Structure 1
């Protein structure tokens, strides 16, 4: 039930239909309100680090890959692997159209993003991501 309540807040972060570029502390507050601080053992700083390295906090970020797929939104969800955009051959591991990414549960979302988190954030001191933001954890 809590995931359903969080989806409207979180949906705008997944796909780039608005194109908002968040300031670090602004995004920290949104993610904190969405209940991500401590979600599945990951801190708010982990989520901020990931969002920065994936999109520089830009919900409108789209990266066009050589295979014709796109990485979309603040967390750069790839259309080739995770959803069908009807533009490229997709594995569609989530068995959904890319427009349905906004209905993903937060648990599933972090499974998709764990690789990027490991590359840029795991094992690093992430305290600077929440420093001065006046949210839990920083």
Structure 2
């Protein structure tokens, strides 16, 4: 998308050039500069002071190319957060979750959490799964917007008191806070179908084996 916009910008600049004379390199200038030059060369009864005033007013107008450049910069700033997505390695995630105090939380081992993260998101902090009802499952633990976070659905519960986009942050702080609240429910980690099917009652030592804590 960015490449396409940049290409369109270059085409726009070359097809409607507003640049300095041929002797110098092309540069973006305000739209009013060429018009003010033409005014200063024209005859008539208009006073020099009036022409200068009009030139200054015109000089404050932006060229379409300059507006496109500003739009491109704004788009890039919007896209930057997506570049923060992170896919953890097994041991890297285990260390982070241990630092957040999940090892032994509510009776669940660190391996339980690592196993859960793998089978829900593949350790991807930016994972988002869209359901048929319009809800989403978000982040490394695929936390649902039906109850736990605020999405676009109005009047939906927001037990974790955060936006679902907060659960996509690679530092995992909000994700861990929300996951702890979910685990306080009677089901515990059983809330997650992936944990029940792939992790519950199994030997999970391999999930943290060889990790340096």
Verify same fold: TM over 0.5.
yes
Name the residue aligned to 1:115: 191
Structure 2 residue 151 is the aligned partner of structure 1 residue 85: yes
The root-mean-square deviation of aligned C-alpha atoms, in Å, is 2.6
Q: 1:31 to 1:44 in 2, by over 3 A?
A: same
Number of residue pairs the alignment of both structures matches: 119
Structure 2 residue 121 is the aligned partner of structure 1 residue 35: no
Name the residue aligned to 1:75: 141
- Between the two structures, name the one with larger relative contact order (CA 8 Å, sep ≥ 6): 1
Residues 68-101 of structure 1, C-alpha deviation per residue, up to 9 Å, x if partnerless? 1111100111112323312x36641617453576
For 1:80 and 1:92, the matched residues in 2 are separated by 7
Q: Tell me if the contact between 2:160 and 2:178 (Cα under 8 Å) persists in the aligned partners.
A: no
Higher share of residues assigned helix: 2
SS at structure 2 position matched to 1:80: coil
Q: 1:120 to 1:67 in 2, by over 3 A?
A: same
Structure 2: runs of 5+ lacking an equivalent: 1-81, 168-173
Name the residue aligned to 2:113: 47
For 1:132 and 1:44, the matched residues in 2 are separated by 13
Instruction: Compare CA radii of gyration and give the structure with the larger one.
Output: 2
Q: Tell me if the contact between 2:102 and 2:110 (Cα under 8 Å) persists in the aligned partners.
A: yes
Structure 1: runs of 5+ lacking an equivalent: 1-15
Q: 1:115 to 1:134 in 2, by over 3 A?
A: same
SS at structure 2 position matched to 1:82: coil
For 2:190 and 2:83, the matched residues in 1 are separated by 24
Q: 1:131 to 1:90 in 2, by over 3 A?
A: farther
For 1:105 and 1:74, the matched residues in 2 are separated by 12
Q: Tell me if the contact between 2:121 and 2:142 (Cα under 8 Å) persists in the aligned partners.
A: yes
Deviation at 1:107, TM superposition (A): 3.1
For 2:198 and 2:158, the matched residues in 1 are separated by 24
Q: 2:131 aligns with which of 57, 65, 76?
A: 65
Deviation at 1:105, TM superposition (A): 5.5
